[in-house]
C-alpha cells in the first residue's frame, strides 16, 4: 500500500528547514558574505557526504533493494561535480590531503549506519540533500559567484544539474516516485524522522564552518582597521 510520502516529507521537515536557513553560516551566505577558505571546506565536507550516500545507494541498487533502487536517479549524482570543484580549490592532489571535519564525519557515519541497518531510511537523506540542492542551487551559485568573484562555472560545478533540463518536471516526477514507494505508514514516519536527522547533520556542518567564517571575517576586519590606523598615523605624515 502506497503512502503520500512526498507531502509528508515536505510538511514534516518544515521546522528543520527553517532552522537550517537561520544558522549563522547560511544567513551570512544569503547576504553575500562568503569567504573562499570557508566555502571550499564546505565543498570538501559535502564531497565526503555525497560520496558515502552515492556509494551506499549504488550498492543497494545493484542488490535490487525494493525501495532504495527506485530513487537512484543518475542525473542527481554530485560526486563528479564536487571532484571538479575540489580540483579547482585545492589542486589535483586534493584527494591525498583532504579529510572531513568532525561534523562531516559524523554525517558520513550516520549514512553508513542507516544503509547497513535500515536502508529504506536513506530516502530521507536523499530527499533532504538532492531536492534541497536542486531547488536552491542556482540562487546559491549566483551568490557564491558574485561574492568570491569566480568565473561562470569554476568552483561552482556542484550547483549544475546538466542532465536535468526542466527542474519543475523532474521534481514532479521525483515526488510521484516517493508516493509510489512500496512502504507502509510506519516506515514513512521513520523516513520523515531520518530526513530531520539529515537536516540536523547538515546544521552541525554549518555550525562548525561558522566558527571558521567568523575567524576569517575577524582577520579581514582587523586588517582593514590596521591599514586605516596606519593611514592616519603620524608615521605616514612625515
Q: Is the pLDDT of residue 191 over 80?
A: yes
- Helices in 13-131 by DSSP H: which ranges? 14-21, 24-30, 36-62, 79-90, 94-97, 102-117, 122-126
Spell out the domains of the chain, with CATH numbers in brackets: 5-230 (1.20.910.10)
> How sure is the predictor about 223, in pLDDT bands with cuts at 50, 70 and 90?
very low
Residue 225 has pLDDT above 80, yes or no: no
Percent with pLDDT over 70 in the chain: 87
pTM over 0.95: no
Looking at per-residue confidence, does 153 or 177 come out higher? 177
Query: 200, 197, 15, 19: which is closest to 121 by C-alpha?
Result: 197
Residue-wise pLDDT tens digits, 65-97: 999 999 999 999 999 999 999 999 999 999 999
Residue 140 near residue 84 (C-beta atoms within 8 A): no
Asked if the model's pLDDT at residue 221 lies above 50, the reply is: no
At residue 140 the predicted structure's pLDDT band, cuts being 50, 70 and 90, is: confident
Give me the residue label for grid cell 546559491.
140
Judging by beta carbons within 10 Å of its beta carbon (0-12, 13-18, 19+), is residue 224 exposed, middle or buried?
Answer: exposed
Distance CA 138, CA 156 (A): 10
* Predicted confidence (pLDDT) at residue 212 exceeds the cutoff of 80: no
pLDDT band at 152 (very low <50, low <70, confident <90, very high): confident
> What pLDDT score does 234 carry?
45
Task: Report how far Cα 133 is from the mean position of its chain's Cα atoms.
Answer: 7
Q: Indicate the pLDDT class of residue 184, thresholds 50, 70 and 90.
A: very high
Amino acid at each position: 500500500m502506497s503512502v503520500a510520502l512526498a507531502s509528508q516529507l515536505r510538511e514534516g521537515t518544515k521546522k528543520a528547514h527553517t532552522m537550517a536557513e537561520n544558522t549563522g553560516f547560511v544567513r551570512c551566505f544569503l547576504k553575500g558574505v562568503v569567504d573562499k577558505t570557508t566555502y571550499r571546506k564546505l565543498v570538501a565536507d559535502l564531497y565526503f557526504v555525497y560520496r558515502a550516500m552515492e556509494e551506499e545507494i549504488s550498492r543497494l541498487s545493484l542488490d535490487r533493494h525494493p525501495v532504495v533502487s527506485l530513487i537512484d536517479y543518475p542525473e542527481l549524482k554530485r560526486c563528479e561535480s564536487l571532484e571538479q570543484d575540489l580540483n579547482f580549490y585545492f589542486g589535483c592532489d586534493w584527494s591525498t590531503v583532504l579529510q572531513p571535519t568532525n561534523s562531516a564525519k559524523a554525517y558520513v557515519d550516520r549514512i553508513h549506519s542507516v544503509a547497513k541497518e535500515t536502508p529504506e531510511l536513506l530516502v530521507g537523506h536523499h530527499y533532504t540533500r538532492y531536492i534541497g540542492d536542486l531547488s536552491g542551487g542556482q540562487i546559491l551559485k549566483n551568490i557564491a559567484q558574485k561574492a568570491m568573484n569566480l568565473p561562470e562555472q569554476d568552483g561552482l560545478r556542484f550547483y549544475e544539474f546538466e542532465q536535468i533540463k526542466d527542474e519543475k518536471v523532474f521534481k514532479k516526477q521525483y515526488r510521484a516516485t516517493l508516493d509510489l514507494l512500496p512502504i507502509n505508514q510506519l516506515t514513512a514516519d521513520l523516513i520523515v524522522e531520518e530526513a530531520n536527522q539529515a537536516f540536523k547533520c547538515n546544521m552541525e556542518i554549518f555550525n562548525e564552518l561558522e566558527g571558521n567564517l567568523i575567524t576569517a571575517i575577524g582577520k579581514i576586519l582587523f586588517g582593514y582597521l590596521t591599514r586605516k590606523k596606519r593611514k592616519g598615523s603620524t608615521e605616514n605624515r612625515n
